[in-house]
Structure 1
Amino acid sequence: MKKKVARVLSMVLVSGMLFSIAACNSEKKSKVVKISEDDPYFTDKTVVLYQPESTSDQVSVTNMIDLGDKFAVMLDIYLSPDDGMMGGAITTYSTDGHVVMESEAILTDNFEEDLESTDMDIDDTDVAANEEGDGDEYIDDESEGELEGELEGELEGELEDEFIDMDEGIYDEGIYDEGYEDEYYDDWSQYQKQILIFFDYDGNKLSEIDMSDKLSDPDAYFMSMTKDGKGNLLLCFQKDEYTEFSYKSSILLKTIDTEGQSVGQDIAIELGEYESAYSVDTDGEGHLIVQKWGERGGMLGIYDESGKLLFDIKPEGEYADFGGIYPINGELYVLLYQSDSMGVYKVDFEAKKLGAEIDASNLIISTPIITDDGVFLNKASGIYTYDLDTGKEEQVMSWNDTDINVAEAVHSSVLPISKDKILISQSYYYGTMSYYGYGAVDTEEEIEPLTLTVLDRAAKNPHAGKTIMTLGGLDIGYDSALTEQILKFNKSDKEFRIEIADYVDRLDASLLMNDIEDSYEKALIDLNQKLYLDIANGDGPDLLYTPYNPANMDRYIAKGLLVDFYELAKDDDSFAKENFLPNILTAFEVDGKLYEMPISFVLSGWSGPERLIGSRTGWTFDEFNQFVDGLPSDTIVFANRTQKTMLSELLSASLGKFLDYEKSQATFSSEDFYSILELAKTLGSPISENEMYDEGNYVDEWELMSKGKLAMSSAYVYSPAAIVDQNSMFAEPVTFVGYPSESKQGLLCSSNGHFSIISTSSNQDGAWRFIKSMIDEDFQNSLAKQGYGIPVRASSFEKHIEEAVKQYEQMYSMYGDMGGYGMGNYELTDEDIELYREIVSNATVREQTDAQIMAIINEEAPAFFTGQKTAQDVAAIIDNRVKTILSERS
């Protein structure tokens, strides 16, 4: 008994000490850290890999391989017509942008697929082909309807399985040519090229080879490139053969030396029927490793050097697939995806199967780079070596020690040459597209080149003397708009330099290995807790950035950990609330104080036919229940909505009313929460999110909409395009309405990113200076143009609307009355713009979330949904568990 009392007393004493320490830490100021000349820094040299001339060009870097004294880069280049649409001329360029050849476009061999990909409709086709012409003549208006009818009849009747018999030619935009196949393949290089470029380690181009000249079979297309284990490069091509009832592929392997000269004989590998390949690698032990896909999922083909099949490895489970091949130190490891898990396995060549799973979860969540020197990981914070045996990581360099865009580096192809030299290649160029939902090419946007950057460790850090200001959060190293602004700030500010602390790199990867549906949520909870504890203990960043993954800030506010922006800016003449959308800033206020500064936002709620919902913007729970009870008997309220999703949506508007962070109290035992549980149970499906899309469970929403039998759908409003989309999907005028609430609020406001300044930071002035650069006219106008959500600055909001209208008009001029994606075709009208303004102005409440508490609710609510417990019993359990969590946090 005495021992038990002593143990309890010691726990109380320790708890008191921890509370005192936390309280003291919340008052202390963070240490000021300055950069010294000896701190690491990498210079950067950037060279052009490829300069697109057209906004429709598509270029990707498929491989970057170290060859010992130089390195090779393979570019996969697709040159589409100059106007970005079907037809027109095709221009071929060298990698530096000089015109090589121009030719007439030969259009694709799958007419219906092209119609789908361009949102075209047979009824909207203005021009049809002249069957007896040579492809350059067009029929007159009188015959157009007749020929269109014939064409439509062919597509619906004679041409089964949605393809045109290649022996009968092709109709497309006035072109008909029975011999198009020969012309198409003769000009294949005008559509797609593979350019192999050799560089020295300083980024100087040594040579360039058009690999199209190396390929004798015009039907084959490039797949991948790897080293053959003998100092040469192995180029992998695939050829597909289709018949009416079968499909078969073959692989062609071509070896070249480091000067680009052919070595030995080409190797042909015939795959089985209905098998295709998507990568070929070598293990350094004389084996060719082919990732294949068959009728029952992924498989691994092990071949000898001559291309002879030794054996296939077919993992257990239907539709399992391989996600990566890792030849490391003479052994072969593979990443395997299965229906409910993923893992890394060693290949057992003797047993001809996969061995036991190994603990290599970090290989899965990071981008592995396999070189002769070992395994490297490209993470948000930099480049790391990775020991497969111990799972230990060691940082080679930090992106903070460079003056390059961190987000671009993380998404780039990276090749570590040594700890002092890193090569970075942008991975792709897909044209300058608009982001307003229309897929239009932004013809005014400058065409940037695809580049290669050489990083070299410098003897001295040029930023010595500047104060380090840390920006913390989750996934912030992947936000290109943010990291570009950080780069600009770091170059211009004379006093401060921002460094990123992306907590996503501290992820416990084991949380993601199983229980796929909830694993990501659990991982986010774990990371947010680590970030909160660091800040509460005085060891966190100066600024906190919350991107699209929302974190609950109420607990920070309750503990006095955040700065009030209004107080900070009260003497700053450059900041005035009236320059912003007032209702949006108000939505983020707490008791008249602003602890979170939103940069941009989107709105969420529900939408449905105006004839059913009326002209309302919000409703109470009683009004919503009356609406549901009054629907026609053949009308479904929601389709494909789980009970979990329904519960989450309903609580996103009202979670805060059940929580008191300051007092660590929870009040879910209330009639309001019982009503929410009942609604979620009634309107949602009891199956899981994964099961929802299984055959027999999924309901065709499009069909329901087309028949006017779907009452509600989720609505995400990010620009005026959302109005057109919803009207088009329902094929009738639509009402946008908020989730049920006591205040009958409109759509919820969710930030695309918001900042907070930590109250213990010694760099608050510098932090505010940076945040102001994110809400000034220049940056907010760039958001308006790029489409990264809705800007918070009032003048930029107007530009955002102007840009959306301009992009829509461009699409309308290209494709006609095709603004929407559904059954109806709707223009973007003045009435739509006015409705959009009203929807935005009616948003007065921000999304309320707390991932850890929602996890508890989602664990306990199914007991009510299945009838095992009453709503009162479930709410009482939730209250107790949430109170414990809130007490632990404090």
Structure 2
Amino acid sequence: MKNVVVGAVSAVLLFAMGMSIVACNVNGKNKGEKISADSVWFDTDIYKINLGIDTTRDVDQTAAWIAGTDDENMVVVTKGRYKMPASVRTLEEASAYVIAKVSVIDKKNNTMVKTIDLNDEITASDDINSAELEDGKLKIKISSYDMKTYSVKTIEKVLDIGSGKVTETHDFSTEMERPADKTSKVGDYNVDTFINWSENGSSCTLAIYSPDGEMKKAELKEQGADIYEVPLILSLDEETALVAATTNAGIRFYSLDLKEGKIKDADPSEYEWIDAEYLRETKTINGELYYSTPLGLYKIDMEKKATEMVLDYGRCDLNRSLLASLEITEKTDDTYVLCGQKDYDMRYDANLAATEFYIVKLSKAAKNPHAGKTVLDLYAPYGQVGETINEAILKFNKTNKDYFIEVTNKYTTVNYDDFSEIDSEDEYENITLNKGAKMSSRLAMDIMNGEGPDILMNTSDYGQLNNDNYLVDLSPYFNDLDKDKYFTNLIDAAKTDGKLYQMPVCYTINGIFTDRKNAGSSGVGFTTEEYQEFISGTLNGEDLITSGQAHYFAKLFSAMSDKFIKDGKADFSGSDFKVLADYVKDNIPEKAPSWSTYKGPEINNKAAYISCYAMSGYFYELEEINGDITVLGIPSTDGRGPMIQAYTSFGVSSQASNVSACIEFIKTVLSDEIQEELAMEENYVLNREAFHKGGMAAVEFYNGPKGDMIFGFDHMTGEPLKNRIKFSEKDIDNLESIISSCSVMYTDDQAINIILIEEMPAYFLGQKDLDSVIKITQDRVQKVLDERK
């Protein structure tokens, strides 16, 4: 099962990263465009509704959604549970912790009319799958687990909204042994999705319920393809649905006969315009189909086979992250109504989402208040920016008199590659390197042509861009940062030839997580010789880095690229290159182990090769690894420390409409307020005080009931621990010292790594001597570097 899960996770990552890249001007705008007075803007009214949850109790989890509206009211269903003590043993005891409520809200005044408690109808063995309002009746579908027969049955309870009483109960047999992974309303039918995992792969079962309650099953299987998710089931006509499945072979489309329960392949060319990643939640309003993305609300036109943005979340004064987490409930010509719970990401207050339900009304304004400002395009992959960065954008747009930042996903992704044959880390990295090289080149080309974005977010992995031709050197604008206030060593680590092209804001720590006593002579990393001794001794011969020779060498090269490429000149003739090459040739297997057979190194809680993300990730490693914990750099010639990898970063285009305005925005992101907000979302940040404050909030949070769920159980047996690990300020201080030891920022130059992977095996396999390989490799790399000038 472990190997299946590893493969699934890798394939999902590949799905996210491995789509063909197409450049397009999404908004149809020209660079440096000024906002006109008659351009669309929305005035907003926002209401928070109390759902009646007892916040004096510790809330474990909740979910709330709109079940429907009528002329006067909207109906919200809330499900979840309060935190249960370990002493709870019986179903009756557990049911006292169930949250099951129906809220009736007046649409005109946006006030609560009444709350109906369903605790007499819902037990701890039940789960509300869906709810639909029809003629004053709420039809609630419930998956009920029978602990005697170990089976699941689906029950529909009909709630009369007026009386607050259940008037009907219908029993639908599913013949399933567990609740559905997802329930979709498709016309008059309901479809439950079940993903079936096994050692041999994964498939999907669809349970289709007709309007009269009859159930039919359709098995979704494909030779050579593992199905990981069904993000979309979309009605094509009264009895046919389109099914989109995420697989290790990319996105697959199927046609489902709802009446007969039969499924067949659909022509993928008919649906290549559909981005199933964002179409996972659709809503029908006034007969029209809508879905939400991080950028805005889109309408689907099945006849034209097209989607259209009808509501740009950046064209109002509310955080686009809030709007993206809501769903549309009503629409007129000039007004949209969105409702739902806010997504709080990884905030430390577990009760925040439980207590808040939002109703947002957006009405077209007579005039755009930002008329006359020049637009700065901020590119973010997939349009994903995050709540706090969105707050920084709002702050900038409100305070800057001349410029207005708009978020764009200019480089859209439409085609899907086949990953079904991938079975190792090397094969995975071949895909990501090639995709990264294409994306990096596309950005570089557009910047040179004056068509690129003004601000580039989260592109620090693209080493090709770290060049004066593409990005502005940020160093002169941030040389005065106080090293006592900020981790300025990370800014130094991000520099290329002494120039700062991409500002790291939030980051992971990449390296060897182990006891401090295992460090080499530098105290922060290993030389190649020291690392081999560490493997053969402490780790009993099991290398933590599982790449094959070519990819292993590329990893080591990237972490030391400052030794080999300076000021646009490649020089591989020195001893450092030879040391790395000989180490790999003598100690590393030709190919990475197969995911199908590799079980992982047996390291007995002594070390792990990790990318440490978030405070919870650090705490998890503290629990797993024994000793005085630190993170050490991967093998190098000088024993350098661990790397950071920025997952939130900012660069400024060399062709930006106004560099000073872009710099002003980055300074906003580095302000105390924004840094602290980022830290309270579990991010590692640059501001030391904000980092420490966020760390101490994490200590309190994970030492409490929420932490018990993560750290209070034996991961092998599932049994509660008598003495679970507790965290302290000492752990935060230790993490701060680890961050202070980071000296390199991960930033692959994909095109150069591809050359290394192609050429170095000739030496590793004894086909050519090293000098010959160096000459060919260096010449090819230099040619690439020269083409960028």
* TM-score for both structures, normalised by structure 2: 0.78
Do residues 542 (structure 1) and 454 (structure 2) align? Answer: yes
Within 1, Cα distance between the matches of 2:769 and 2:169? 71
Q: Say whether the 8 Å CA contact 2:69–2:75 is kept in structure 1.
A: no
| 1:423 counterpart (315, 333, 337) | 337
Could you tell me how far 1:723 is from its partner in structure 2?
7.0
Deviation at 1:258, TM superposition (A): 8.3
Offset of residue 227 of structure 1: 7.0
CA distance in 1, matches of 2:656, 2:167: 65
Equivalent position of 1:242 in the other structure: 147
Please list, as runs of the form range in 1=range in 2, the aligned pairs for 1:378-457 lying within 5 A after superposition: 378-388=292-302, 391-415=305-329, 417-418=331-332, 420-427=334-341, 433-434=347-348, 449-457=356-364
Is 1:474 paired with 2:385?
Answer: no
- Name the structure 2 match of 1:530: 442
Q: Aligned AA for 1:650?
A: L
Is 1:551–2:461 an aligned residue pair? yes
Q: How many correspondences in the alignment?
A: 732
Task: Give the superposition deviation at 1:616.
Answer: 3.9
C-alpha distance in 2, partners of 1:260/1:681? 78
Per-residue displacement from partner, 1:509-560 (whole Å, max 9, x unpaired)? 43488777466665554444333322211122332222xx63325545242x
Please state how far the C-alpha of 1:738 moved relative to its aligned partner.
1.1
How far did 1:784 drift?
4.0
SS in 1 for 2:276: helix
Q: State the distance in 1 between where 2:231 and 2:329 align.
A: 20
The answer for the alignment partner of 1:347 in structure 2 is 256
Q: Distance in 1 between matches of 2:36 and 2:589?
A: 59
| Alignment check: 8 A CA contact 1:223 1:278 kept | no
1:252 aligns with 2:173: no
1:594 aligned counterpart, secondary structure: coil
Question: 1:802 & 1:216 partners in 2: Cα distance?
Answer: 41
SS in 2 for 1:364: coil
- State the AA in 2 paired with 1:371: T
Aligned-partner Cα distance in 1 for 2:699–2:522: 27
Deviations 1:3-42 (A, max 9, x none): xxxxxxxxxxxxxxxxxxxxxxxxxxx9643322201011
1:484 and 1:869, CA in 2 relative to 1: closer, same or farther beyond 3 A?
farther
Q: Answer yes or no: is 1:497 the counterpart of 2:396.
A: no
What is the distance in 2 between the residues matched to 1:239 and 1:442? 27
- Give the corresponding residue for 2:476: 567
**1:236 CA displacement:** 0.9
Alignment of 1:41-440 (within 5 A): 41-50=41-50, 53-54=55-56, 56-57=58-59, 60-61=62-63, 63-64=65-66, 69=71, 72-80=74-82, 86=85, 108-109=88-89, 180-182=90-92, 184-185=94-95, 187=96, 191-197=98-104, 200=107, 204-205=110-111, 207-208=113-114, 210=116, 212=118, 215=121, 220-226=126-132, 234-243=139-148, 247-255=150-158, 266-272=169-175, 274=177, 276-284=179-187, 287-292=189-194, 297-317=203-223, 320=227, 322-330=230-238, 331-348=240-257, 352-359=262-269, 360-361=271-272, 362-367=274-279, 368-371=281-284, 373-388=287-302, 391-415=305-329, 417-418=331-332, 420-427=334-341, 433-434=347-348
Distance 1:535 1:344 in 2: 36
What is the rounded CA distance, in whole Å, between the counterparts of 1:841 and 1:867 in structure 2?
A: 41
Please give the alpha-carbon distance, in whole angstroms, between the structure 2 residues aligned to 1:646 and 1:181. 53
2:713 paired with 1:800: no
* 8 Å Cα contact 2:524/2:641 also seen in 1: yes
Name the residue aligned to 1:608.
514
Task: Check 1:356–1:726 CA distance in 2 against 1; reply closer, same or farther (3 A cut).
Answer: closer
Residue 588 (structure 1) aligned with residue 494 (structure 2): yes
Kept in 2: contact 1:61–1:428 (CA 8 A): no
Shift in Å, 1:341 = 3.3
Q: Please tell me whether the aligned partners of residues 221 and 237 of structure 1 are also in contact (alpha carbons under 8 angstroms).
A: yes
Q: Relative to structure 2, which stretch is displaced further, 464-473 or 575-584?
A: 575-584
CA distance in 2, matches of 1:290, 1:625: 51
Q: Distance in 2 between matches of 1:841 and 1:886?
A: 32
What does the per-residue CA deviation read over 1:436-471, in whole Å, with 9 as the maximum and x for residues that have no partner? xxxxx589x999733121222222212223332322
Mapped partners of 2:390, 2:777: distance in 1: 40
CA distance in 1, matches of 2:509, 2:516: 19
* Per-residue Cα deviation, 1:246-278 (whole angstroms, up to 9, x for no partner): 521111124568878889954321122535434
Higher helix share: 1
What do the CA deviations read for 1:388-444 (whole angstroms, capped 9, x no partner)? 46542322122221211122323333456256333333445679843xxxxxx589x
- Preserved CA contact (<8 Å) 1:254 1:266: yes
d(CA) in 2 for partners of 1:673, 1:71: 74
1:365 maps to amino acid: E
Whole-angstrom CA distance in 1 between matches of 2:164 and 2:732: 61
Higher strand residue share:
2
Q: What CA distance in whole angstroms lies between the structure 2 residues aligned with 1:374 and 1:677?
A: 63
User: Is the 1:224–1:235 contact (alpha carbons within 8 Å) kept by the matching residues of 2?
Assistant: yes
Number of the residue aligned with 2:34:
34
- Where 1:697 maps in the other structure, the secondary structure is coil
Q: Tell me: CA distance 1:57–1:730, structure 2 relative to 1, closer, same or farther (3 Å).
A: closer
Counterpart CA distance in 1 for 2:93 and 2:732 is 47
Shift of 1:653: 0.5
Which residue of 2 is the match for residue 699 of structure 1?
600
Deviations 1:708-737 (A, max 9, x none): xx5x42244568887765454232234532
Distance change >3 Å, CA 858–CA 345, structure 1 → 2: farther
For the structure 1 residues 597 and 635, does the alpha-carbon distance in structure 2 shift closer, same or farther, using more than 3 Å as the test?
A: closer
Query: Contact (CA 8 Å) 2:460, 2:649: kept in 1 or not?
Result: no
In terms of mean alpha carbon deviation, does 256-265 or 628-637 score higher? Answer: 256-265
Q: What TM-score, normalized by structure 1, do the two folds share?
A: 0.70
Deviation track 1:663-707 (CA, whole Å, cap 9, x = no partner) reads 6x685999727835863894569456xx53x4x521375xx325x
Q: Deviations over 1:290-309 (max 9, x none)?
A: 32456874211234333223
Gaps of 5+ in 1: 1-29, 88-106, 110-179, 435-440
Separation in 2, partners of 1:281, 1:782: 36
Residue pair 1:58, 1:430 contacting (<8 A) in 2 also: no
Distance in 2 (CA, whole Å) between partners of 1:55 and 1:868 is 69
- The DSSP-based 3-state class of the residue aligned with 1:550 is coil
2:153, 2:176 within 8 Å by CA — same for their partners in 1?
Answer: no
- Structure 2: tracts of 5 or more residues without a match: 1-29, 423-427, 716-720
Q: Is residue 49–residue 111 contact of structure 2 (8 Å, CA) maintained in 1?
A: no
For 2:667 and 2:70, the matched residues in 1 are separated by 47
Instruction: Please say if residues 242 and 253 of structure 2, whose CA atoms lie closer than 8 Å, have aligned partners that are also in contact.
Output: yes
Secondary structure of residue in 2 paired with 1:751: strand
Take 2:291 and 2:553, find their aligned partners in 1: how far apart are those partners? Answer: 38
Summarize the Cα distance change of 1:417–1:523 in structure 2 as closer, same or farther, 3 Å threshold.
Answer: farther
CA distance in 1, matches of 2:34, 2:612: 44
CA distance in 2, matches of 1:510, 1:843: 36
Amino acid at match of 1:358: P
1:821–1:422 CA distance, 2 compared to 1 (3 A): farther
Determine helix, strand or coil for the equivalent of 2:530. helix
Deviation string, structure 1 residues 574-598 (Cα, Å, up to 9, x no partner) = 8667753332232233444433333
One-letter amino acid of the structure 2 residue matched with residue 537 of structure 1: N
Letter in 2 for 1:341: G
Q: Distance in 2 between matches of 1:69 and 1:522?
A: 54
AA in 2 matched with 1:33 = E
> Structure 1 residues 673 and 404, CA, compared in 2 at 3 Å: closer, same or farther?
farther
- In structure 2, what is the Cα distance between the partners aligned to 1:774 and 1:633? 42
Q: What is the root-mean-square deviation of aligned Cα atoms in Å?
A: 4.6
Counterpart-to-counterpart distance in 1, 2:779 and 2:73: 61
Aligned sequence identity (%): 20
Whether the aligned pair in 2 keeps the contact of 1:59 and 1:428 (CA below 8 Å) is no
Tell me the secondary structure at the aligned position of residue 808 of structure 1: helix
Q: After TM superposition, list the pairs within 5 Å mapping 1:481-880 onto structure 2.
A: 481-503=388-410, 506-511=412-417, 517=428, 523-546=435-458, 550-559=460-469, 561-568=470-477, 579-613=485-519, 616-618=522-524, 621-624=527-530, 627-628=533-534, 631=537, 634-638=540-544, 646-647=552-553, 649-655=555-561, 657-659=563-565, 662=568, 672=577, 675-676=580-581, 679=584, 682-683=587-588, 686-687=591-592, 691-692=594-595, 694=596, 696-699=597-600, 701=602, 704-706=603-605, 710=606, 712-716=607-611, 726-791=621-686, 793=687, 797-805=688-696, 807-808=698-699, 811-812=702-703, 835-854=734-753
User: What displacement does 1:204 show?
Assistant: 3.0
